[in-house]
Copies of this chain bind each other. A is one copy, B any other.
Amino acid sequence: MSEDKEIEIMQSVYDKNDQVAAEINLSLTKRGIFAVNVMGSPGAGKTSTLIQIIKRLNDITPFVIEGDIEADFDTKTLLSLGVKTIQINTGGACHLDSPMIGKAVDDLNIGKGMLFIENIGNLVCPAEFQIGEHIKMLISTVTEGSDKPYKYPLAFEKADLIIINKVDLIPYVDFDESFFMKGVRALNKTAPVIKVSCKTGQGFDDVVTFLKNFI
């Protein structure tokens, strides 16, 4: 197949995805549901971050769509905490797309509240696909190192909120915060960057304050 043909096909995939995403977004907005696309590397602590946030939401009802290639550990954890959660297993696909979310939103029977959509652990592909969200929350970690914004620019560029997780490990790793921030700000002038630890709870009051602004 020619390269032109491949590019044309990819464009058609993106266009179809974005159209469905826009429909989902509108439907969620009308129903009073604020949706957060949660992105980060494998093991960045996406589910642990959601648990810390959900604990602090008080009168806002949380819903979670859990994206994984396989397995459902995180869904089981969230359900055990009483959070209305549904699992999507992509069976190999490296990101969630909007048709998957459309179906999950229907199945989950969501009411007014805050919907967290935990994407596949991947700093590349999820950033390319709208899935009906209102904002993208990117979780980076001090253990991944401070060069991540330079190496995976799209995720940092598109994020509306950037969390630096695992700050409790700073004494034991080489994390250059000013180099990290320089990389972030070259791509993204406006997203708040909040340092957190899922171990200690540090920083999550600020995360929740930011999220509640949108409700």
Q: Name the interface residues of A1-44: CB closer than 8 Å to any CB of B.
A: 1, 6, 9, 12-13, 16, 41-43
Shortest Cβ-Cβ A-B pairs, 4 listed: A43-B144, A94-B124, A143-B143, A71-B150
Given contacts A94-B122, A94-B125, A122-B94, contact A42 B152 (CB under 8 A): yes
**Chain B nearest Cβ from A42, distance in angstroms:** 5
With a cutoff of 8 Å between Cβ atoms, the chain B residues found around residue A172 in the complex are: 168-169, 172
Number of identical protomers:
2
Q: Name the interface residues of A188-204: CB closer than 8 Å to any CB of B.
A: none
Q: How large is the interface on A (under 10, 10 to 19, 20 to 34, 35 or more residues)?
A: 35 or more
Given contacts A9-B1, A70-B151, A152-B69, contact A42 B92 (CB under 8 A): no
Residues B169 and A68 in contact, CB atoms below 8 Å apart: no
Residue of B nearest to A174 (CB): B199
With a cutoff of 8 Å between Cβ atoms, the chain B residues found around residue A154 in the complex are: 69, 92
